[in-house]
């Protein structure tokens, strides 16, 4: 039996799934998933269905996890305003850590998943390349409250903490509609079905701005690395694919993967409005191509996609700190798109590109 036990909060989301796939592939970990939803994470994962906002109930449900050695916290409770997000997102972390700290004598590490919202990318232009030492923006930001609580809680304890800050995470999970990959994939295949070229739907300056991408599979590897490396103890790290790109540079390659022409590359539209009537078309596409029975609303949030494609400023983070700590992995962004989009085809989430398309063939 593996000597390490990973307890993953928010395990059914994009980040949690990427981590589970990686840990499962190593064979070195016992894996416990925690989420409010039922699990579809497959073999090798022990699932605990628990609502971390319910302190007493979750404490009872988690009390048997005495073998826990590492907590990976990827859960998120959205709320209408940034101020309203603080209390529930801190409470979930507190309830989990306090319970496992009490019942798991071998607890060694607690890891937070953050992002470039730490630097204020959701507010507007920010200093780039963002560095972990940059000053905080004007709160509220629940990342700050979570980390401040964790730092204070850890003082004098046997366990350590870390935090990772990726940008534009690319991966797949049903029920995680704030998904860069699914926004891109569904917009593309619906456009293709309508006989349209692949046009950038967002702000022209967002198309041209410098940008970081993060493959969820690479992030899973980085999460294990940070949680088990002494140089990472009690530190936060930016984490991306390791290169800098622009959407306008990768757009022709993305169009080729989908078997589409680019035509006029930019045509700004409001996806929330333009996709409001597309559920019947998507249902017909599911029937036509034998796709899995997921509705658009289960796979993508169009308002969120509108925001993601309409941020007309650079969004770049330095990963020099991670490099100094020993992280050496790099993911080619074009390869990431080809493999992840190909995976959506293979798993019958989206239809294949027309004609011979190599990795884009349906299985």
**Cis previous bond, 298, omega within 30:** no
- Find the length of the chain: 363
Q: What is the pTM of this model?
A: 0.95
Could you tell me the residue ranges of all domains in the chain? 4-168+214-238, 176-212+244-313+331-360
Contacts of 324 (CB under 8 A, 6+ apart): none
Domain at 176-212+244-313+331-360: CATH architecture: 3-Layer(aba) Sandwich (3.40)
- The strand pairing partners of 212, in sequence order, are none
pLDDT of residue 175: 87
Q: Where are the alpha helices (DSSP H) in 36-137?
A: 55-62, 82-103
Distance CA 65, CA 80 (A): 33
Whether the pLDDT of residue 362 is over 70: the answer is no
Q: E strands, the chain, where? A: 4-9, 29-35, 46-49, 70-73, 109-113, 160-165, 169-170, 210-211, 214-215, 235-238, 245-246
> What pLDDT digit, counting tens, does each position of 343-353 carry?
999 999 999 99
> What pLDDT digit, counting tens, does each position of 58-113 carry?
999 999 999 999 999 999 999 999 999 999 999 999 999 999 999 999 999 999 99
Whether the pLDDT of residue 243 is over 70: the answer is yes
Comparing 362 with 209, the larger pLDDT belongs to 209
pLDDT of residue 363: 27
- Please tell me if the domain spanning 4-168+214-238 has the same topology as the one spanning 176-212+244-313+331-360: yes
Locate tokens 């989908």: which residue? 258
Q: Are strands 109-113 and 160-165 parallel, antiparallel or unpaired?
A: parallel
Give phi and psi for 83, each to the nearest 5. Answer: -65, -40
Averaged confidence pLDDT in the chain: 95
Alpha carbon distances (Å) from 301 to 68, 179, 181, 186, 308? 34, 8, 11, 11, 11
3-state secondary structure of 169: strand
On whether the CB atoms of residues 162 and 150 are closer than 8 A, the answer is no
Distance CA 168, CA 180 (A): 7
* 187-215 mean pLDDT: 98
- The strand pairing partners of 30, in sequence order, are 5
3-state secondary structure of 194: coil
Q: Are strands 214-215 and 169-170 parallel, antiparallel or unpaired?
A: parallel
What is 4-168+214-238's CATH number? 3.40.50.720
């Amino acid at each position: 039996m593996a000597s390490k036990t990973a307890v993953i909060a928010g395990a059914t989301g994009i980040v949690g799934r990427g981590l589970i796939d990686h840990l499962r592939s190593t064979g070195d970990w016992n894996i416990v998933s925690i989420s409010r939803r039922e699990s579809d994470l497959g073999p090798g994962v022990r699932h605990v269905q628990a609502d971390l906002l319910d302190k007493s109930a979750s404490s009872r449900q988690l009390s048997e996890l005495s073998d826990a050695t590492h907590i990976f916290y990827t859960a998120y409770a959205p709320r209408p305003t940034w101020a309203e997000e603080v209390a529930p997102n801190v409470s979930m972390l507190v309830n989990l850590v306090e319970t496992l700290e009490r019942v798991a004598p071998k607890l060694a590490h607690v890891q937070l998943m953050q992002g470039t919202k730490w630097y204020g990318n959701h507010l507007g232009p920010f200093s780039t390349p963002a560095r972990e030492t940059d000053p905080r923006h004007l709160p509220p930001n629940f990342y700050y409250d979570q980390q401040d609580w964790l730092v204070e809680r850890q003082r004098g304890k046997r366990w350590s903490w870390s935090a990772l800050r990726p940008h534009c995470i690319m991966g797949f999970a049903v029920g995680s509609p704030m998904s860069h990959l699914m926004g891109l994939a569904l917009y593309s295949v619906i456009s293709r079905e309508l006989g349209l070229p692949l046009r950038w739907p967002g702000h022209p300056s967002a198309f041209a701005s410098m940008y970081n991408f993060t493959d969820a599979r690479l992030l899973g590897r980085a999460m294990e690395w940070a949680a088990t490396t002494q140089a990472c103890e009690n530190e936060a790290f930016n984490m991306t694919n390791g290169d800098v790109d622009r959407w306008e540079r990768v757009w022709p390659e993305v169009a080729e993967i989908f078997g589409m022409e680019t035509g006029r590359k930019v045509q700004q539209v409001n996806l929330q409005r333009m996709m409001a009537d597309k559920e019947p078309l998507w249902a017909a596409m599911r029937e036509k191509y034998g796709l899995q029975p997921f509705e658009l609303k289960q796979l993508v949030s169009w308002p969120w996609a509108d925001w993601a494609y309409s941020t007309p400023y650079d969004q770049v983070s330095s990963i020099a700190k991670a490099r100094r700590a020993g992280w050496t992995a790099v993911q080619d962004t074009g390869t990431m798109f080809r493999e992840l989009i190909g995976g959506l085809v293979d798993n019958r989430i989206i239809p294949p590109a027309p004609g011979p398309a190599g990795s884009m063939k349906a299985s």
